[in-house]
């Protein structure tokens, strides 16, 4: 009987190791969730953008032109107005009553943005509420609508580091001379990056309109995980050349989910290694103690 008890106890460290392996595998399964979530997000967003493009292409062209002219007129009314920080709730001013009716299409999509270098293709929604920024790029309400034109400066904002979506996570990889594109009402506006800078959250000088220029600035929070500052990537309007866009080689960047999984796997592997060492030491000590007891009984 004593021998059976000793056998069960001597297996105890192995059972611990078995449980450790079980939890390790369960952890790996949980780590796969962000990747699956991001794939589902990409599929949903892709469907929304196709729906937007289909609606625009099938709409009466006179109505599309009227929508375009109305957006330009809206931008004229905004000229010289005070701006606010896109990521600070309540910091904005009162908007014209018809803001929500501008570029109003299915699924709240007002335009789409394409940044070939970092493989970003996303819808642009009205406003910068947290609900919007969790799923797409938001248009900063107090700036020009993204239809271009001399004296306009549209600001588009996106989150960095979300587990379920990449959004603007790789925005810092852009450099001067890179191109991005805004697709709106069946037209494509091309912008060439001419300035990148990091500013304080309340420093809005970099997104003010210039009466002689046509700008579009992409904004995200930085540094990653702290979000105390803003990264501004400004683009200056240039001619759209489809053949030039086709030549752009995308960077091999990781998705947010892949980054999270890689980090978590390193952490899990380290913890697993530590558990194995602890169990091995515990087993060795128990075997030494059991050996001493047996020798004492034999004496």
Residue 38 pLDDT grade (very low, low, confident, very high; cuts 50, 70, 90): confident
Averaged confidence pLDDT in the chain: 83
Does 149 score more than 80 pLDDT?
yes
- Say which range, 70-84, 189-203, 205-219, has the weakest mean pLDDT: 70-84
Q: Which residues are catalytic?
A: 159, 221
Token representation of residue 33: 């969730």
Q: Are strands 215-222 and 153-157 parallel, antiparallel or unpaired?
A: parallel
The predicted pLDDT at position 201 comes to 87
The predicted pLDDT at position 93 comes to 52
Pairwise CA distance, residues 206 & 217, whole Å: 9
Q: Where are the domains of the chain?
A: 1-58+261-299, 70-253
Of residues 36 and 226, which shows the higher confidence score? 226
Residue 174 makes CB contacts below 8 A (sequence gap 6+) with 115, 117, 118, 180, 193, 196, 233
Helices 2-58, 256-298: inter-axial angle, 10-degree rounding: 180
pTM (predicted TM-score): 0.74
Residue 12 pLDDT grade (very low, low, confident, very high; cuts 50, 70, 90): low
Average pLDDT value for residue range 74-98: 65
Residue 257 pLDDT grade (very low, low, confident, very high; cuts 50, 70, 90): very low
CATH class of 70-253: mainly beta
The predicted pLDDT at position 79 comes to 72
Residue 62 pLDDT grade (very low, low, confident, very high; cuts 50, 70, 90): very high
Token representation of residue 57: 């292409």
**Rounded-to-10 torsion of CA 110, 114, 120, 126:** -20
- Say which range, 96-110, 162-176, 209-223, 255-269, has the weakest mean pLDDT: 255-269
Angle at 44 between CA 124 and CA 172, to 5 degrees: 50
Average pLDDT value for residue range 156-184: 94
């Amino acid at each position: 009987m004593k021998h059976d008890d000793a056998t069960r106890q001597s297996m105890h460290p192995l059972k611990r190791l078995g449980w450790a392996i079980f939890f390790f595998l369960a952890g790996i399964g949980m780590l796969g969730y962000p990747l699956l979530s991001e794939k589902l997000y990409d599929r949903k967003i892709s469907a929304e953008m196709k729906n937007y493009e289909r609606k625009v292409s099938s709409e009466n062209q006179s109505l599309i032109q009227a929508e375009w002219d109305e957006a330009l007129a809206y931008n004229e009314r905004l000229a010289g107005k005070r701006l606010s920080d896109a990521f600070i709730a309540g910091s904005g001013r009162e908007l014209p009553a018809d803001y929500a009716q501008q570029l109003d299409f299915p699924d709240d999509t007002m335009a789409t943005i394409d940044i070939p270098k970092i493989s970003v293709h996303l819808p642009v929604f009205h406003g910068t509420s947290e609900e919007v920024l969790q799923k797409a790029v938001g248009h900063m309400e107090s700036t020009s609508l993204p239809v271009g034109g001399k004296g306009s400066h549209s600001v588009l904002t996106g989150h960095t580091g979300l587990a379920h979506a990449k959004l603007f996570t790789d925005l810092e990889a852009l450099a001067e001379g890179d191109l991005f594109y805004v697709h709106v009402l069946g037209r494509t506006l091309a912008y060439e990056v001419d300035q990148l800078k990091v500013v304080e959250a309340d420093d809005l000088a970099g997104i003010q309109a210039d009466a002689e220029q046509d700008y579009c600035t992409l904004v995200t929070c930085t540094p990653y995980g702290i979000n105390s500052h803003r990264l501004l990537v400004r683009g200056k309007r240039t001619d759209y050349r489809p053949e030039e866009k086709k030549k752009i080689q995308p960077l091999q960047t990781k998705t947010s989910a892949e980054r999270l999984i890689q980090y978590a796997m390193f952490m899990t592997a380290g913890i697993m290694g530590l558990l194995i060492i602890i169990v091995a030491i515990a087993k060795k000590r128990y075997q030494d103690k059991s050996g001493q007891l047996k020798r004492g009984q034999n004496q």
